[in-house]
Amino acid sequence: MPPQQNIRNVYVGTSGWSLSRELAPGSSPGLSGLVRYAEYFNAVEVNSTFYRRPRAATIERWRETTPSGFRFAVKLPKSITHEARLVGVAEEVREFCKLCEGFGEKLGPLLVQLPPSLDFDAGVAAAFLELLVRATQAGVVLEPRHPSWFEEAAERLLVDYGVARAAADPACCPAAAAPLHTRDTHYFRWHGSPRTYFSAYQPEALAHLANAMLRARISGGGRALVYCFLDNTALGAASVNALTLKAQLVMAR
């Protein structure tokens, strides 16, 4: 197994830690999925929290079985974002943020992915962001998927609350392809294109992504935190692409 090659403040991984043994056998045959994954990647996007809350003991196990520099980006539950559509969720947000404190120093950003049908409402957005940023010490990243969130008023609100906006591929509009960074956090989330969740990215696209990530890091004087997660997991392309991206980053830096 090649040694872990990480670039300071740059985090690369996949959405979830499904990683085939054929692709990444790990240092010994008895490793759990997450432990083996963490030998190859320095971060993971926890997508399972979108569907159900993990137990506190499970979070503790995840934290204790990963290396010191590992980071967990954690997705907010769909009950908050898709079912309640950000309204009337104060208690649930506080409980979820309290649960996430169990990740300790390994907690990365909280990811808020919005449904494509949820357009920007300044009052709703401000009330929700106020609630969330008060409930957590973690960075907050928003992935809106309605074009109205990329207009000036929405962008100004995100900046006011220190909330970053993910750079998504495929992008719902041209502005969605570039990250909006706040608190020195840049977040890239690539879902597979042209077929979302299924399509693999070619090396040329990943080289372009690697260069964009390194530019983002440089823009913060080397202090910016840059996260990138591959979400084209349906046919296993995410882990292959993530390993290629890591190699591209090392070559391009």
- Dump pLDDT digits (tens) for 42-53: 999 999 999 999
Please state, rounded to an integer, the average pLDDT across all residues of the chain.
95
The residue that leads in pLDDT, 30 or 136, is 136
Identify whether 179 is part of a domain: yes
Identify whether 5 is part of a domain: no
The residue segments making up the domain with residue 20 are 10-252
| CA–CA dist 121, 146 (Å, integer) | 11
What global pTM score does this model have? 0.95
Q: In CATH, what number is assigned to the domain containing residue 146?
A: 3.20.20.410
Identify whether 91 is part of a domain: yes
Identify residue 36 by its one-letter amino acid code.
R
Identify whether 62 is part of a domain: yes
pLDDT at 3 exceeding the cut of 80: no
Per the structure, the count of domains in the chain is 1
- Dump pLDDT digits (tens) for 69-83: 999 999 999 999 999
Percent of the chain exceeding pLDDT 70 equals: 96
Identify whether 3 is part of a domain: no
Identify whether 183 is part of a domain: yes
Query: How would you classify residue 104: left for phi > 0, otherwise alpha for psi between -120 and 50, otherwise beta?
Result: left
pLDDT of residue 253: 72
Identify whether 2 is part of a domain: no
Identify whether 1 is part of a domain: no
